[in-house]
Amino acid sequence: MQSRLKSLIPKYAILPLGLALLVNTCVYTGVGQLRHFLTFSSWETSFDKALPFVAPFVFFYILAFVQWGVSYILIARDSRELCYRFAISNIYAKIICLFFFLLFPTTLTRPEISGTDLCSRLVQLIYTIDAPVNLFPSIHCLESWACIRAAFLLKKSNRTYKIITILMSLGVFASTLLIKQHVIVDVFGGILVFEVGFRIAGRILNTRGQCKKGAATP
């Protein structure tokens, strides 16, 4: 198992990606445990209310986890620099998410699921295990936007991979709205928060690189 992991993910990537995953888990599950102590508001708009409930989009919502895994493996294998930037971006983005989850907690009213088909059962399962908290910004949209950004930065990314990533991510964005897990502002919030984290990471790594060059100059 360890040899397979090493063949998939370079040694230098294990710590930063592991730390990013740990921060994500602590933020999401930690705030979820505090939901009984928070006062929630709804940012649902008339646009959100007009959107239909479309259960089959649940597959995009679930397959997003596969997309993220594949994307971060490719990021890790691409280069140390890209891996560090995405890991740091993810960590800072999740810290920003924590700020909003605690100080501006939002919720929404989910529909009653009466269907007994597979899609309806999957949505019901998601509703059962995932309370309507930690909505703004949407971590689903944040991570899928990160996949789009990565697709255009990976050295070995081709046109087909970019198109598939964009289409899959758009499906994920739509799924958060059409299975009533998020509202439209959550989608744009997730994109914006990742971009902020990405820029912070870029500045940190640039400063570090400049410091190293300065230290190496006699």
Q: pLDDT for 75-125, tens place per residue?
A: 999 999 999 999 999 999 999 999 999 999 999 999 999 888 999 999 999
| Position 40 in a domain | no
The answer to whether residue 52 scores a pLDDT higher than 80 is: yes
Range of the domain at 194: 2-29+55-108+115-216
| Position 50 in a domain | no
- Mean residue pLDDT across the chain: 92
Distances (CA, A) of 181 to 97, 99, 178, 210: 16, 20, 8, 43
| Position 49 in a domain | no
Averaged pLDDT, 202-207: 89
Query: What per-residue confidence (pLDDT) applies to 4?
Result: 63
The answer to whether residue 208 scores a pLDDT higher than 80 is: no
Which is nearest to 94 in space by CA: 174, 31, 14, 10? 31
Q: Which of 107-116, 162-171, 201-210 has the highest mean pLDDT?
A: 162-171
**Positions of E strands within 75-183:** 106-107
How far apart CA 158 and CA 127 sit, in angstroms, is: 37
Whether residue 137 has a cis bond before it, omega within 30° of 0: yes
Backbone angles phi, psi at 9, to 5 degrees: -120, 125
Bridge partners of 42, per DSSP, are 107
| Position 34 in a domain | no
Query: What per-residue confidence (pLDDT) applies to 24?
Result: 94
Per-residue pLDDT tens over the stretch 125-139:
999 999 899 999 999
Averaged pLDDT, 32-60: 94
The answer to whether residue 17 scores a pLDDT higher than 70 is: yes
Q: What is the dihedral of CA 45, 46, 47, 51, to 10 degrees?
A: 110
| Position 83 in a domain | yes
Q: How does residue 207 score in pLDDT terms, banded at 50, 70 and 90?
A: confident
The answer to whether residue 187 scores a pLDDT higher than 90 is: yes
CA quadruple 106, 109, 114, 119: dihedral positive or negative? negative
Query: What per-residue confidence (pLDDT) applies to 146?
Result: 98
Averaged pLDDT, 154-169: 96
Q: How many domains does the chain have?
A: 1
Averaged pLDDT, 181-209: 94
How far apart CA 72 and CA 29 sit, in angstroms, is: 21
What does pTM read for this prediction?
0.92
| Position 6 in a domain | yes
H or E element at residue 206: helix 184-216
The answer to whether residue 217 scores a pLDDT higher than 60 is: no
Three-class SS state of 52: coil
Q: How does residue 169 score in pLDDT terms, banded at 50, 70 and 90?
A: very high
Which residues neighbour 99 within 8 Å (Cβ) at sequence distance 6 or greater? none
| Position 181 in a domain | yes
Query: What per-residue confidence (pLDDT) applies to 124?
Result: 96
Query: What per-residue confidence (pLDDT) applies to 212?
Result: 61
Per the rule left: phi > 0, alpha: psi between -120 and 50, beta: everything else, 111 is beta
| Position 48 in a domain | no
Q: Answer whether 39's CB lies under 8 Å from 104's CB.
A: no
H or E element at residue 142: helix 139-151
The answer to whether residue 154 scores a pLDDT higher than 90 is: yes
Q: Answer whether 154's CB lies under 8 Å from 78's CB.
A: yes
